[in-house]
A and B are shown apart, each in its own frame.
Chain A
Amino acid sequence: MAHIVIIGNGISGVTAARHIRKMSNHEITIISGETKHFFSRTALMYIYMGHMKYEHTKPYEDWFWKKNRINLAHNHVKTVDFKTKTLKYLNGDTLQYDKLILAVGSKPNKFGWPGQDLDGVQGLYSYQDLELMEMNTKGVQRAVIVGGGLIGIEMAEMLLSRKIPVTFLVRESSFWNNVLSPEESEMINRHIREHHIDLRLETELKEIIDDGSGKVEKIITNTGEEIVCQFVGLTAGVSPNINFLKKSELETDRGILINEHFETNIPDVYAIGDCAQHKNPPGERRPLEQVWYTGKIMGETLAHCICKNKKAYNPGTWFNSAKFLDIEYQTYGWVYAEPKEDEESFFWEHQDGKKLIRINYKKESKEVTGMNFFGVRYRHETCVQWIENKQTVDYVLEHLKEANFDPEFYKKYEKEILVKYQELAS
């Protein structure tokens, strides 16, 4: 029986702990300085918006951990001595481990903007960030959000729920268009504006100005415009939270470097989740994956590696989902902003401008490579099977309704979609 210590009680670390417990009798300790218990980070926005309280974001009741013999340490790790396998906490206490799992997550990116550390300027990743945002947004007349990605639009939605006017600075020429195709991106631009968010495309933050007391007074954009605001949300992505490990012998780049078994360069030390950087990412996946379900898969696979036999990280066909204000988004397979050279793209948009379906496929073989769905829900399993079985776009469009996952009585659009495809094809 070994003592397995996990730093980080996010989805990756907790999934690893749960599966190690299922498969073994190892002693397990999860350390987190953020919160005592595991909560769903993806739900932070809903706490602010009053949809839920913190306690609702905990996927397991508090008795779960004791019952499953998982020790919880609410503490901050300051340093790791890999030679003696000892952790040192901020308060000076130490802890010995036999195997160490680093699941330390991310931190918001700050790109060295002047004024980025003023009061009222913050990112949103942790529970503490949420508490800070609660404080920072009291009595605010206008907020500025910098960075047009998933956290940016979530933060805008949060502020809207408190009726705080939002100016949203997006560097790109259209929202998230490094990921979304032009039509999708334009649809979201429209939807953002429909919610009375002041969307500024091709606009970057140049400087945040102090009001003289260390608080934000206004910002200046790259076009020289001044925007008076009392809150600035920095949402230009996240990066691994590994500063406390940078000076050690642990091999890092942007994240902690790992092989397909999550092994770092140091024996008995593993890294999973947001903080891990795959040396050989599978398929077309990126080396850093800050996605909920990949954290789950990494955690479960690592538990196998530790308790049973080594398994390689194999997350399968790419998929993801998000919600842009009121518009739900699901994606299966790879749909790049610009189709690859050997690919063609078919899309259909509903006249209400809030539903869109895109299917990318190989020009020659017509094999489907990826699908984007906006405003209509589709079945993960079926879509991924089509892609893996190299079904043609014709087959997929003819069978699309079989994958529809919208609630009962919803209007179905598959016929209309097929007609549009056939018209284009002929």
Chain B
Amino acid sequence: MTEEKSLSIANPHSGIDIIQKIGVALAAIGTIVLLIAWADIKISHHGALLALSITSILLGSIIYGVRTYLTVPEGIKNNNVWHSSFTNGGVLGWLAGIILTGFYIELYWFPSLLGLGADGAKNTGIVALFDPLSQFIKGQPASQWFVYGTIYTLLILALGIKFMLKYRHNRYQLIRTIVVIISQLFLAYLIPEILEGLNTKGGYFAKDLKYMWPLNYYFFESWHLNNMVDGGNLGKFYLVWGIFSFMIATPVITYFVGKRWYCSWVCGCGGLAETAGDPFRQLSSKKVYAWNIERWLIHSIMIFIFIVTCVVLYGYFTGSDTFLGLSIYSHFSKPYGFLIGSMFSGVIGVGFYPMLGNRVWCRFGCPLAGYMGLVQRFKSKFRITTNGGQCISCGNCSTYCEQGIDVRWYAQRGQDIVRASCVGCGICSAVCPRGVLKLENGDTERRDQPISMINGKIELTN
């Protein structure tokens, strides 16, 4: 089969019509405004320009989505995914990946390049563009994190709406996406930013209710614990909530419904992956060797954060800066924050969407996903059931599994899929042309053997 080497983002065979082009152009204008500001080209009227940028990205995505999906009968829309170099890991994908990665590198390590004013100096560049919005929401100039949070939320909103248009026939996808958008918009963005603005006296602590340890790797660091303890009732609430949520709520909810309640319903990383990252889900590797890397890597990181957390708690309770003669900061907190918190979850996790798929971090790195994965694998009602002998081994389920699970391997054996990494996005079930897969929380035993039908009925084999 000859490979399609098209440079077009759009479907190379159909082209896109004028209304779709208007949508793309609008979103592009909004993006160009951001890029101009990023390039630190002198601009004025920040408030108006930012409003223009946000509105046109939002409106453009909606126009494009409405025109693309509502003009055709509802159903699966994966035509030409592997023909477009944007979505098949081709040139355009790499280009997007490099730009994204560059943004993340500046965000984490060179915020001054984004225009963050050092030591109280005025912001410039893209950070200055967001000053008016930051002033409005929390009465402070913007930081690079405010810029990031705003763009992040905007992407989940705009591309989440596009996703809902694409899957309008699938109520699981609709409800899940509404929840993920609301979680991001309110829990992760508006409420924390507003609280931050009201609570200017105390030190910073994380105010995203669902951003729990160990995904929030600094939760137990001394400065963070101190800021919560000193943060009045609000701080104390977040301290208690933070401990309750990972110790009690997480395993209990995961027992009943699987880790999907978090990973594909409320998590911010998951939210971006499911919306902005949806066009790249097919790029995850389904090979067994990738699964082996996954198991080693994610569990190593879990052990890593567990050790780091024990050590910082030791430091907190003893008041010591060192552990066995090693500096707690430079030998424990800092390496984890740099390698995992910034490099892995940020730069690689999102920057590499167009090369490695949209769930690199969630699959290989996230210690919270790893923790819930163990619950899901060994003690949960959640499973994906397969429908008897209906599987035709076509491979759509495996191809579109963002977590790289070879779903077909189970489905064609008639075996339930019980995997630690499944985030329950439900796309395997959606793309199956034969109605074979169903995400379920069942009371029955999970069927862990293949079936055989040679005796005229469906029987379990050993």
Contacts and interface: CB of A to CB of B under 8 A. Distances in A.
A61 B288 contact: yes
Contacts of A292: 392-393
Nearest to A53: B82
Contacts of A315: 453, 456
Contacts, number: 160
Interface string B422-456: 00001001110111001110000000000011111
A378 B435 CA distance: 8
Contact of A134 (B2, B79, B394): B2
Nearest to A62: B287
Contact of B389 (A191, A195, A293, A406): A293
A301 B398 CA distance: 27
A50 B83 contact: yes
Interface in A21-60: 40, 42-43, 46-47, 49-54, 56-59
Interface string A158-196: 000111000000000000000000000000000100110
B426 A328 contact: no
A409 B389 contact: no
Interface residues of B, number: 57
B170 A407 contact: yes
Interface in A334-391: 377-381, 384, 388
Interface stretch (B51-59, B70-78, B308-316, B319-327): B70-78
Contacts of A330: 390, 434-435
B393 A11 contact: yes
A161 B172 contact: no
A318 to B, nearest CB: 11
Contact of B454 (A130, A314, A321, A388): A314
Contact of A50 (B78, B409, B429, B455): B78
Contact of A163 (B14, B82, B430): B14
Given A50-B82, A56-B398, A59-B409, A328 B454 contact: no
Contacts of A406: 438
Nearest to A130: B1
A411 B74 CA distance: 16
B416 to A, nearest CB: 13
A40 B392 contact: yes
A58 B434 CA distance: 18
Contacts of A57: 394-395
A389 B254 CA distance: 37
B38 to A, nearest CB: 33
Given A56-B399, A59-B408, A40 B393 contact: yes
A46 B434 contact: no
Main SS class of interface, B: loop
A42 B398 CA distance: 15
B183 interface: no
A328 B456 contact: no
Contacts of A274: none
Contacts of A381: 388, 458
Interface string A399-426: 0000001111111000000000000000
Given A321-B390, A330-B435, A408-B439, A61 B287 contact: yes
B222 interface: no
Contacts of B287: 61
Given A57-B394, A377-B387, A52 B454 contact: no
Interface of B: 1-2, 4, 13-15, 72-76, 78-84, 169-172, 174-175, 287-288, 387-390, 392-396, 398-399, 408-409, 412, 426, 429-431, 433-435, 438-440, 452-458
29 contacts: A11-B393, A43-B393, A46-B394, A46-B396, A50-B78, A51-B79, A56-B395, A59-B395, A59-B408, A161-B13, A191-B73, A293-B392, A301-B454, A315-B456, A316-B455, A321-B434, A321-B435, A322-B434, A323-B434, A325-B73, A326-B169, A378-B435, A380-B458, A405-B387, A406-B438, A408-B439, A409-B172, A409-B175, A411-B171
Given A40-B395, A163-B14, 12 more contacts: A51-B399, A59-B395, A195-B73, A325-B73, A326-B74, A379-B388, A381-B458, A388-B457, A405-B438, A407-B439, A408-B439, A409-B175
